Amino acid sequence: VRCPPLFCPDPIRPEEGDCCDTCLEDCRVIFCVEPTCSNPVIPPGRCCPVCPTTPDPDCAAVLCEQPDCDNPVVPPGECCPICPITLPTPTTPPRPLDCDRIQCFPPNCPNPKLPEPGECCPSCLEDCAVISCLLPTCDNPITPPGRCCPVCPSLPLPTVPPPIDCEGVGCSFLNCPNPIPPGPGECCPTCIEDCAVTLCLRLTCDDP
């Protein structure tokens, strides 16, 4: 009897009435995944090593859900794939800034905000060149860091509206003799009344 060549590391010995060893798999076309145990074994006739304490489960009647990952794996002794557990990559701390080489411009506020980690220069939260401050009604006003105007210690910090770019804004014609100047967040003056449709009565006082 001439036996065919076998392509598995541990062929199955012939049973009674057989002459040739046999393989259950052709290892030339099978890609093996390394098992997670320290003492894997290769079953007779098979190609890939398995953990000796992990029996092959009967997965024919198991309905598995597809895991939400690109590289699911099937744990030894299980039927359904799972997403592998990946440990977070340790982050490298940022390099310290060389503030000796950085030139800081003079801040335009009386109490600049101190540099935070990753910064070198003090900063202002407001541009004090365009802000007019009102005197607070307390005896011990303070100027918060980065702000322009003093406030009373018990009052919340004022909110700063975002600057508006009025360049290119076309204001409509106003039909009143003394328009109201634009307020914060506005670009155009306004009229409370439309003088084109308002009939004024002549005043009888000496100083109209």
17: left (phi over 0), alpha (psi -120 to 50) or beta: left
Identity of the residue numbered 19: C
pLDDT tens, 81-120? 888 766 566 666 666 677 887 888 888 888 888 888 878 8
Confidence label for 37 from pLDDT (cuts 50, 70 and 90): confident
Looking at residue 109, its pLDDT comes to: 83
pTM comes to: 0.27
Token pair of 113 as six digits: 């905000």
Token pair of 22 as six digits: 């046999």
Looking at residue 1, its pLDDT comes to: 76
Backbone angles phi, psi at 82, to 5 degrees: -135, 165
DSSP string, 52-82: TT-PPP--TTPPPPPPSSSS-B--TT-SS-B
Q: pLDDT: is 208 or 137 the higher one?
A: 137
